[in-house]
Amino acid sequence: MLPTHALSGMVLGLAVSAVAPEFGPVAIAAGLFGGVFPDLDMYAGHRKTLHFPVYYSLSTGVALVLASLVPNAATVAAALFLLAAAVHSVADAFGGGLELRPWEGTSDRAVYNHYHGRWITPRRLVGYDGSPGDLLLSGALAVPLVLTLDGPFQWVVVVSVAVAGTYTAVRRHLPDVADVLVGDLLVSVVPEALRTHVPDRYLEHGR
Ligand SMILES: [Zn+2]
């Protein structure tokens, strides 16, 4: 889920700040942004449009070499952004599929591999987005962050964990809510323009 990706990006930045404290803030901010960025495709081709498990990984290699040869705020930020986006895209393969109820394990689509032109099948190592295992992962990633960060970054961590806990608590009820919306309200009442703001996976049953 998104908070887990945000926190994992920040942990990558934190690792940089341990070896090069002068680049700590920029690395953590870039890691956070890179961790979140792929999921901006939530409403348009989720886990395909902005998810590039292969291309982010390849460009991360180039960016890391560049940042180590010419270390400055721009190269470090670029490297951490790409690294966090790569980790996000690869990590999605270890979660559940894209179906409405990912705990049922019926989808064979986890994340799109643009390089090979096909979907990577879900490995379900952390169950699905918003599973107890996912929440546990969020909590584990948050520990080193809350212990070392302060100011706005610490607030980002606290809010992420709160969102993760809330999302996990309601996750299994979301499809039922979506069914009601799609079946009774969305299709008949809500204009087409607004419907585009509902992620595709929730519209499966309304089509
Ligand atoms: Zn994702």
* pLDDT value at 207 more than 60: no
Query: How remote is the CA of residue 124 from the centroid of ligand 1, in Å?
Result: 14
More confident residue, 19 or 177: 19
Q: Is residue 141 part of a domain?
A: yes
- Is residue 77 in a domain? yes
Residue 118 has pLDDT above 50, yes or no: yes
184 in any annotated domain? no
Q: Cα(30) to centroid of ligand 1, in Å?
A: 17
What percentage of the chain has pLDDT greater than the value 70?
89
Confidence of residue 97 (pLDDT cuts 50, 70, 90): very high
Give the domain extent around 59. 2-173
Does residue 203 belong to any structural domain of this protein?
no
pTM of the model: 0.88
Q: Write out pLDDT tens, residues 147-201.
A: 999 999 999 999 999 999 999 999 999 988 887 777 666 666 666 667 667 776 6
Average pLDDT over residues 42-58: 94
What is the Rg, in whole angstroms, of the alpha carbon atoms belonging to the chain? 18
The overall average pLDDT reported for the chain is 91
In a domain, 194, yes or no: no
Whether 15 maps to a domain, the answer reads yes
CA 17 to centroid of ligand 1, rounded, Å: 25
- Domain membership flag for residue 83: yes
Dig out the tokens for 174 from the structure: 């979301």
> Residue 184 Cα, ligand 1 centroid: separation in angstroms?
29
Q: How confident is the model at residue 182, as a pLDDT?
A: 72
Domain count, the chain: 1
Residue 205 in any domain: the answer is no
